[in-house]
Structure 1
Amino acid sequence: MSISVRDTRPDDLPAVTRVLTESWGGTTLMVLGSGELVDVAKLPGFVAEVDGELAGLVTYLEQDGAVEIASLNAVLPGRGVGRALLDAVRAAAAERGATRLWLITTNDNTHALRFYQRYGFDLVALHRNAMDRVRALKPSIPAESDGIPIRHELELELRP
């Protein structure tokens, strides 16, 4: 299986919207760097393809010399798609001279937490009860996942 990664293009919008909606219930997500809900489908990003089919997506936001990963979705999990997308956004951050590549995940997302730490991200902050603030803006976020209450945001970073 060969994974190719490229910048998102305007004609990717329908597929990007579908992936984000299936994974996150829409394209609007809380982006901590901006402190507000952002339509991440409109952010710069990369798509991964396998045999011409969308296999994954990453979107990001540049701000204050740092790059925040706003969303990461592997449509084909466990096949290196997430790593390929992280490699692309890491290279873009380094190319732009960013001093920090970072992201937020929630306390229930243990699979992602393991994945990011294996990649080299370091857990740098716990934002206690941050999901109360996020739910005030996006009430559709569930209260729990896999029996784990979704309460906190975990901040991870990687120095490019």
Structure 2
Amino acid sequence: MNAIAVRAATPADHPRIVDLLTRSWGETVVVGHGVRYDAAELPALLAERRGRLAGLLTYDIGSEGLEVVSIDAVVRHAGVGTALLNAAAELAWAKGLDRLWLITTNDNIDALRFYQRRGMRIEGVTRGGVDASRRLKPGIPLVGDYGIEMHDEITLEMRRPVGSGIAQPG
């Protein structure tokens, strides 16, 4: 069986969460929209396949809805990111929240494609957002994917549809 199971992380998962975040981000600190998060201390969803860690999504719930702070798949293009994003939307709607949102960077073309194909819409662009984030996390590189300079933050969102539990674009 190759199914992906998604579940809420427990305290026992903490070492695996720290390990995956460190491998993906260089450390557990994630910065976006002027906020510095220790993603290892946030609530998380784990994706597992055949009992092995396949992916991780960390999130924060605030007045603007459920924010996806980090999302990582151990193996890309295997359905893990989709399973995690769907589970996060279900969690948000179950908690009565109307919005699931996240920040990515202007160089992250693959992520922009991924999120939009799953119903998320671009809500805004913060020019210089990444430049500002470097003050909180100086290790953010100047050049990102495809040799594109990283300067701006892009906010994507998904809104809960009225009268339905199915996620729809914002």
| Other structure's SS at 1:21 match | helix
**Equivalent pair of 1:49/1:56 in contact (CA under 8 Å):** yes
**Equivalent pair of 1:143/1:149 in contact (CA under 8 Å):** yes
**Which residue number in structure 2 is paired with residue 27 of structure 1?**
28
**Which residue number in structure 2 is paired with residue 151 of structure 1?**
151
**Which residue number in structure 2 is paired with residue 68 of structure 1?**
67
**Which residue number in structure 1 is paired with residue 106 of structure 2?**
107
After TM superposition, give the deviation of residue 31 of structure 1 in Å: 4.1
After TM superposition, give the deviation of residue 124 of structure 1 in Å: 1.0
Letter in 2 for 1:10: P
After TM superposition, give the deviation of residue 106 of structure 1 in Å: 0.2
TM-score by length of 1: 0.95
After TM superposition, give the deviation of residue 120 of structure 1 in Å: 0.3
Deviations 1:93-147 (A, max 9, x none): 0011111110000011111110000000000101001111100110001100231
Return the alpha-carbon distance in structure 1 between the equivalents of residues 71 and 59 of structure 2. 9
**Which residue number in structure 2 is paired with residue 41 of structure 1?**
40
After TM superposition, give the deviation of residue 80 of structure 1 in Å: 0.6
Deviations 1:17-45 (A, max 9, x none): 1111111111111143xx42111111111
TM-score by length of 2: 0.90
Return the alpha-carbon distance in structure 2 between the equivalents of residues 159 and 131 of structure 1. 25
Runs of at least 5 residues in structure 1 that lack an aligned partner in the other structure: none
**Equivalent pair of 2:106/2:150 in contact (CA under 8 Å):** yes
Where does structure 1 differ by over 3 angstroms across 4 or more consecutive aligned residues? none
| Other structure's SS at 1:136 match | coil
Cα root mean square deviation, aligned: 1.0
**Equivalent pair of 1:65/1:97 in contact (CA under 8 Å):** no
Letter in 2 for 1:90: A
Counting matched residue pairs gives 158
Return the alpha-carbon distance in structure 2 between the equivalents of residues 144 and 100 of structure 1. 31
**Which residue number in structure 2 is paired with residue 54 of structure 1?**
53
**1:71-86 equivalent positions in 2, closer than 5 A:** 71-86=70-85
Runs of at least 5 residues in structure 2 that lack an aligned partner in the other structure: 161-170
